Structure 1
Amino acid sequence: MATPPRPSFPVRLTPTASAATRGRMPAVPVKPMVPSTPSMASDAVRARMVQKLAAQGIADARVLRAMGAVERHRFVDSALVNQAYEDTSLPIGLGQTISKPNVVARMIELLLGAPALVGKPQGRLGRVLEIGTGCGYQAAVLNEVASEVYSIERLRGLHERARTNLRHFRLATVHLMLGDGMIGYAKGAPYAGIIAAAGGEAVPEAWIDQLAVGGRIVAPTHSATGGQALVVIDKTLGGLERRILEAVHFVPLKSGIA
């Protein structure tokens, strides 16, 4: 199968918005990323966070290395930097949050358990699609374990904020897109993994269609109790295999661009 063209970093995708529509959208101020200081950027601070993640049950060495490599404080507001390495979600604007480190690590660890990587404990994921870029933190962590990351965000203000945050790292294999995450990004398919930071009634069929055989989707969906739970979907030669895991709490999955 021929590899589809790869957009340069950063890219912008507007599959449902015309130029006239974009012209009506008010500009959203993007706060500058937090400057690095010795105390915030020290390896020791991140190492303590990684130790806590290991104590909480994160066992995959690839995930622990990735979590220790990415400076989380660069993705939060300056008023919240003292909480950047605590296991807590933090507001990033527009009613959205940066997920807890434990949740990010857990979902990426699940993604690395895809059938295609079974028996390859040091294996690296191929191309990954992230639904909901947010501030860009999870995309940066995914970049540590995947060969290429396509990340799509429907909120223009967050898309711009992620571009600003990630520009410092100059990650040539991370591609940011403004678009409707519910329809995925067919031009980049097939994906070895798809991970979502928003939960809907069910996993969209478009994601399943864009997933490679041997690949895995990790996403929150509505549960029978009315809350949300993580669902893992593996695409095998024999069909789809689904598992419902622990309860989680994510923002709702929505369509369109705002």
Structure 2
Amino acid sequence: MALKRRVILERAAWRLRSGETVTDVAFSEGYESVEGFSRAFSRAFGFPPRDAGNAKSHWLSAPNGIHFHPPNALWVTEAERAPVADVTAVMVRHDVDDTGYLLRVAAELGEDDFHRTLMPGHVVLKWDGPEESIAQILDHMLWTKEVWLASIDGENMPPRLGLDHSSLVARHGVVAPRWVQMAESVNPSDTLIDAICDPPESFSLGSVIAHVVTFAAYRRQLVRQLLRRVGVEVNDGDPIMWLREGVE
């Protein structure tokens, strides 16, 4: 009951800060009188309802972290603030898991559909070359990680391996854990001077991770569109659902 009363008072404070009258708020929030509402509000906030417009927030102290969130939601705060790096880790892990999912779905395709030119002339990044088929797009999703890991680990440019489905699955099995381990262990502020580039270029490791995740997200959705075009059902790749299914 205490939770319900607190959320009601927080909602009332938000409404008052938005310009509604004390009388309207009091009765619509279930109070029998303006006086009773004013007493409850003043006890909770330390000032009367008429001063709510000057308050910096409509939140009250909440041991369980549950607050009213306008216009019709709740917000649950955590005792410990998660670092931004945790968000990066979610994006990196979702990318590699979702890529694995797409490779599994693509196993339903025949060779013709897998390699068919479905987007003639399509290029994502000019130095990567054409990405006109499902096979080519999946290849580039792996290749970009393989190349960056070679640079970061001080290795030579990796060989460009086959585009057949079994080869792509095998490559993903190798590169995915290496990529996750790198992304979660490096200092994103460190700088890589990449001698593979001609001429050599410098990149912060954080920008490298952001680059790969950004274009991987586009490519994954592109693969989904093409899979649907050839009649294969595929999920939306929503990280919200991925996290929910993983946690629950």
Interval containing the TM-score (normalised by the shorter chain)? under 0.3
Return the TM-score normalized by structure 1: 0.21
- Pair member with larger Rg: 2
Greater length-normalized contact order (CA 8 Å, ≥ 6 residues apart): 1
**Larger helix percent:** 2
Structure with bigger strand share is: 1
